[in-house]
Amino acid sequence: MPTYFGTTPKNDWNPNGPVESGHNFVQRISDKDAEIAAKNKQYQDYQANVTGARTDYNQAIQNQQNYGDLWNQAKQSEDVEAAKSQYQKSANAVNATRTAMTNLPSTINAGSNVVLNASQRNAALGNQMNKYANTLGYWTNQNATDQNMYQTALGVAQNLAGQNMAQEQARVAQQLQRYQAEQAQANELYNQMSDQQRMALSIYDQMLQDEAQHWREAYDPWAANLAAETSRYTANLAKQLNPYEQYLLDREKAKNRTADDLIVAPYSNLKDVPADTLQQKYGVSLPQATQMKIDAGWKPTLQQVENTARSRNAAFDKLLTLAGR
């Protein structure tokens, strides 16, 4: 019968078995680590694209012209200020002519030494009014033309500034879109690498669970056999406790008992009990029974020792020594 004392469970688990065994964990982890390394290199290399796109985007923002600058450029290219100046000039001429026509009646014959009668004054006023009316008509028409040219130049400049601003924004948006696309691709590569890492961890977990299962399969029967062997050993050990050792145990327990508890009827003292009676009561040998009497205070005579010696054994030699004989 095999013994399990001093042994350990035997486990033949192999983490790198053939593919068909399903236990080729080492190779699978190695393959996955290679995939992770390749994907990480691809991710790191792609960072140059992301960095370039981010630089171009930042540069586009820095170079983007604001609307105020574009508006000033458009006004200059369309001569808006010149058109405005001409419009204001003709408008001022219209206003000046109207003012002169309003003040005309009070200025007729003013500063002249000749006094005009009413008829003469009306004729002179009418003549001057006609001249001013022609002048007012000219400047009014000119002002309308100038206003139209100014408004046209202003509208063209506004459209031009708006178009230029849209182009500036489009360039920035284009760089932003490129940067976002490059970053999204980099993120996708990183996510793919993360997926590979999770797969590797899953393989590690499978390997640990598989190893634990093999250990359980090895340990459980070993532990059961060890428990069974321990139980048998304990039972055999109990059987090997001879009656005399049982007496010694009883004697140890009897230290706190009264003298009456130790009486073997009809004897009042254990030392007076015949050895064969003790043999029957405790199932001990004659030397052991003799030792019991000695322990109780019995002092055998030399003749008794010689009679007993006929049946003595090796254990009785030790008893004699303990008795001081």
Residue 4 inside a domain? The answer is no
Residue 173 inside a domain? The answer is yes
Residues 272 and 155 in one domain: no
Residues 199 and 287 in one domain: no
Residues 74 and 205 in one domain: yes
Q: What is the pLDDT of residues 275-287, one digit of tens each?
A: 777 777 777 777 7
Domain boundary among 178, 205, 234: 234
Residue 5 inside a domain? The answer is no
Residues 121 and 170 in one domain: yes
For the residues 38-58, what does the mean pLDDT come to? 94
Residue 268 inside a domain? The answer is yes
Number of structural domains in the chain: 2
- For residue 177, is pLDDT > 90? yes
For the residues 304-308, what does the mean pLDDT come to? 57
Residue 14 inside a domain? The answer is no
- For residue 180, is pLDDT > 90? yes
Residues 49 and 159 in one domain: yes
pLDDT value of residue 45:
93
Residues 162 and 54 in one domain: yes
- For residue 155, is pLDDT > 70? yes
Global pTM reads 0.52
Residues of the domain holding 278: 243-323
Q: Among 52-56, 78-82, 257-261, 267-271, which range has the highest average pLDDT?
A: 52-56
Domain boundary among 210, 234, 258: 234
Residues 48 and 177 in one domain: yes
**Residue predicted with more confidence, 41 or 4:** 41
Domain boundary among 234, 259, 289: 234
Residues 156 and 285 in one domain: no
Residues 223 and 189 in one domain: yes
Residues 295 and 205 in one domain: no
Residue 10 inside a domain? The answer is no
Residue 1 inside a domain? The answer is no
- For residue 93, is pLDDT > 80? yes
Residues 166 and 249 in one domain: no
Query: According to the 3-state scheme, what is the secondary structure of the chain?
Result: CCCCCCCCCCCCCCCECCHHHCCEHHHHHHHHHHHHHHHHHHHHHHHHHHHHHHHHHHHHHHHCCCHHHHHHHHHHHCCHHHHHHHHHHHHHHHHHHHHHHHHHHHHCCCCCCCCCCHHHHHHHHHHHHHHHHHHHHHHHHHHHHHHHHHHHHHHHHHHHHHHHHHHHHHHHHHHHHHHHHHHHHHHHHHHHHHHHHHHHHHHHHHHHHHHHHHHHHHHHHHHHHHHHHHHHHHHHHHHHCCHHHHHHHHHHHHHHCCHHHHCCCCCCCHHHCCHHHHHHHHCCCHHHHHHHHHHCCCCCCHHHHHHHHCCCCHHHHHHHHHHCC
- For residue 190, is pLDDT > 70? yes
Q: Among 7-11, 166-170, 229-233, 271-275, which range has the highest average pLDDT?
A: 166-170
Residue 255 inside a domain? The answer is yes
Residues 219 and 300 in one domain: no
Query: Per-residue confidence at 102, pLDDT binned at 50, 70, 90?
Result: confident
